[in-house]
Structure 1
Amino acid sequence: MADARLSFGGGGDLPCHRAILAARSRLFRKVLSARGASDEPRVIHIDEKVLPRRFAPALLHAAYTDQVDLSLIQRAPSSPTSTNSSGTSNAAWPGSGGRGSHSAQLEDAFQLYEIARFMEMPILAQGCEERLVAQLSPATLPRLLRWAVQPHASRYVHRQAMRYLLDEFHTVMSSPHGPRVPRAALARALASSELQCSEPQALRAVLRWAEHAPNNTQQPSK
C-alpha cells in the first residue's frame, strides 16, 4: 500500500512509496527526512514549475523499475499530439508506435533530463541520455548538438553527437538537415583527424552548408 502521494495543484495525485522516492532521489530524501518519521500517509506537494505533472509518470516509472520510458510523458496541450480529455497521451516516442513530432519528443526528453538533474535522480538522467543517443540521426543531430552545449545539458550526449557527426559526416551533410548543423560543431569536425570523409567530400559539404545556412550559429534556437 502506498504511504505517500505526489500532489499537484491541478489535481490528479499520484500514489507512491517514501522508501522508493528516498532511495532514488536525493532531493526527495531531503524533503522526507526534514519532515521526520511518521506512519501517516505523506502528501508531497509538487511545484509544477519544477516537475510538471505530465512528466511525473515517467519519473515514477524510472524510480520503481530503473527503466526510462519516454512514451509515458504526456504530450503538452500545445503539442501536435496532445493529451486527450482523460489525461492519457495520444502519441509515443519512436519505436513505440506513435507518430509524434520528433521536435516535441526531443524537447520532452531534454526537459525530463533537466528535471532528473534537479531532482538528483541519476538513474533517470542516465536513462534520458541513453534514449537521446539512441535517437541520433541526420534529422535529430542539429537539435541535439545545439542543446548539448548548454550549461545544464549532457556532456555525454554532446560527445556522442560529435562522434556521430565525425563517423557519418558525409551522410549528415548531404542530407536536407546538413545546413542546420551548428557552425562550431562543423568547424570542430573539420579540424578533427577522426573525420570519416574525403577532402573533396568535406569541401562540398562546407560549400553546401555556406550556401544554405550562412547565418548558422552554435546558439540554441528560441
Structure 2
Amino acid sequence: MGSVGSSLLKSSQSASNLDWIGPSTSQRLPAKRHRFASLFAYRYVSDSLLRFNSRRKNRPISRETQRAFKDLISSWSCSELAALCTEMESSWALRELVILAESARPPVLSISDYLSKALDDRIACDAFIVFKNKRYDVHSSILLARCQYFSEQYALLSKPNGPGPFEISLPELEISNELFEAFLRYIYTGKIINVPKHEQGILNEILSRLRCGQSLEENLANFDFERNGDCTLVFTTNDSYSSDKVGRRNDSRDYFVQCSSVMMTARSDFFRSIIKRKQQNDEPLTIVIDEHLFPRVYAPVILHAIYTGRLDLSKTMDGCPVSTNSLNEVQAIASGRRQRSPLRQAIDVYQISRFLNLYFLAQACEDVMVSELSADTLSGLWSWSSEPDGSAYVKRQCIAYLRGEFSRICSSYLLYELDEDLLYECLLSDYVQVSV
C-alpha cells in the first residue's frame, strides 16, 4: 500500500531501529489506554486496511499481516490512529483515481448511434418511402429486420432490375411528417426521440400496427443479413483476383460471403469509403480482401460483431489464419509458452478491428485480453502491447496486474522472465503490493 506519513517514522540513533515504524511519542501508554487503542485499531484501522485492499479479491490480507499490523499500532495514541486512518483513506481515494485513469478509454458509439448516423447520412440507401409528398431514403435491410409489415411487403414486391433504389409502400397513416420521422428514427435506434407525450401513444399504436415491437438488438441478432445481403466480401490470397470471378466458387480457393452494406458503412469508416466510392461509380458492391490482412477464419466473428455489437470468439471458423506483418505481434505471444486460444484469437481480431476502424470491437478484444491476464501470460502480453501497434490499454493493465501480484510473482521463477521496462514501470507506483 502507499507510504504512511513521515511523522510515523520513529527517529533512532541505533542502526538496528532504523526500520522500526512507530508513533511519534515514545512514551508507553497505560494498560487501560492500551486496550482502548486496540479496540480502536480493530474497529477503524482494520476496516480501512481491508477497504484499501478491496481490489485484491483473489488474495485477501493474510492473518500474519493483520496481526503484525495490529501489534505495530496497539500502543499508538488515539490522535495517531486517527491520523493514520485519514492518511489511509486519502491514499485509498488517490489509488482509486489512479485505477480510473488507467482504465480510461475513448468512448465508442452504441449500435443505435451508428444506425442513427446512417439514417442521417443516407449512404448505401437502396430504397425510399414517399410520405405526404416527401421522400425518405432508407435501407431495406433495416426495415426488414425491424418490422414484419415491411418484411411481408418486400416479399410481395417485384424489385426492379436496375441499380437504383426502389419504393417501399406504406399503409394510410394520419400523422404528421414530424411523427413519421420519429417513427423512422425509432426503427433505426429503438428509441423514441423528440416526441411529445400526447403523441407517444399514437406512435406506439403505429409501431404495434406495423409489428415493430421487439428491441433493436434482438431484431438485428435474429435477422439473416447474409441471405438478405447486398454486398459481397471476397477473401483471397491471390493478388491477381479480378471481378469476373465473382459468383464462381468451384475450382477456386477464394471465399465469398454476403453482408449488409448499411451495417458495414455505419460501423466501419474503412468499408464506408469503399462502398461510397463504388456506389458513386455504379460499380457492383464487391469488396476484395487480402487474407494476409483479414483472414477468412475471422469473418463470422467480425460480421457478427458488426451486426450485434458483441464479440463471440466461438464463431471463429476452423482453419489456420494467414500470418503477415500486420499480425507479427501474435507470434511474440505464441512463442515460448503455449497460450490459451481465446487470447490468440482476441489479439488477431484486435488487429483486424483496428485495420477496419472498428473501435468498439477493438475495446471488446482488449477486455478479453485483460481477462486472460495471469502470471503466465503477463510477459507475452506486455511484449505485444509495447509494440507500436499494440494496445496502450492492455499495457497499462499489465502494469496494474504486476502491481497487485508483485509479492507472489517475485517469489517465483516468473520474475526472471519479466521485461525490465515492465518492472521499472511497476516500481514507480506507490501502490505496489509487496505484503505476503
Counterparts of 2:290 and 2:419, CA distance in 1: 35
1:145 paired with 2:372, answer: no
Tell me, which stretches of 5 or more residues in structure 1 are unaligned?
79-100, 202-222
1:59 paired with 2:296, answer: no
- TM (norm. structure 1) is 0.72
Match of 1:26 in 2: 269
Match of 1:8 in 2: 235
Between 1:168-177 and 1:69-78, the stretch displaced more is 69-78
**1:62–1:68: 8 Å Cα contact kept in structure 2?**
yes
Aligned-pair CA distance for 1:194:
1.2
Between 1:7-16 and 1:27-36, the stretch displaced more is 7-16
1:158 paired with 2:158, answer: no
Distance 1:186 1:74, change over 3 A: farther
Distance 1:186 1:126, change over 3 A: same
Counterparts of 2:259 and 2:342, CA distance in 1: 26
1:179 paired with 2:422, answer: no
Distance 1:108 1:21, change over 3 A: same
**2:301–2:316: 8 Å Cα contact kept in structure 1?**
yes
Distance 1:178 1:14, change over 3 A: farther
**1:57–1:73: 8 Å Cα contact kept in structure 2?**
yes
Q: Deviations over 1:102-123 (max 9, x none)?
A: 2554333222211111111111
Match of 1:123 in 2: 360
Q: Deviations over 1:148-174 (max 9, x none)?
A: 111101111111111111011122333
Matches within 5 A, 1:45-124: 45-74=288-317, 76-77=319-320, 102=339, 105-124=342-361
Q: Deviations over 1:150-207 (max 9, x none)?
A: 1101111111111111011122333453332211101221232111114xx7xxxxxx
Paired residue type of 1:106: L
Which 4+ runs in 1 deviate beyond 6 A?
Answer: 38-41
Match of 2:260 in 1: 17
Paired residue type of 2:231: A
Match of 2:50 in 1: none
**1:162–1:185: 8 Å Cα contact kept in structure 2?**
yes
Paired residue type of 2:343: L
Distance 1:185 1:137, change over 3 A: same
Distance 1:177 1:106, change over 3 A: farther
Between 1:47-56 and 1:6-15, the stretch displaced more is 6-15
Paired residue type of 2:290: D
Aligned-pair CA distance for 1:24:
0.9
Match of 1:93 in 2: none
Counterparts of 1:8 and 1:105, CA distance in 2: 23
Paired residue type of 1:128: C
Counterparts of 1:22 and 1:172, CA distance in 2: 46
Counterparts of 1:31 and 1:39, CA distance in 2: 12
**1:117–1:125: 8 Å Cα contact kept in structure 2?**
yes
Counterparts of 2:303 and 2:345, CA distance in 1: 16
Distance 1:40 1:31, change over 3 A: closer
Counterparts of 1:182 and 1:75, CA distance in 2: 34
Query: SS state of the match for residue 120, structure 1?
Result: coil
Asked which structure has the greater CA Rg, the reply is 2
Tell me, which stretches of 5 or more residues in structure 2 are unaligned?
1-227, 237-252, 322-337
**2:350–2:365: 8 Å Cα contact kept in structure 1?**
yes
Distance 1:75 1:188, change over 3 A: farther
Counterparts of 2:282 and 2:395, CA distance in 1: 45
Query: SS state of the match for residue 291, structure 2?
Result: coil
Aligned length: 178
Paired residue type of 2:254: G
Please tell me the root mean square deviation across aligned C-alpha atoms, in Å.
2.5
- TM (norm. structure 2) is 0.38
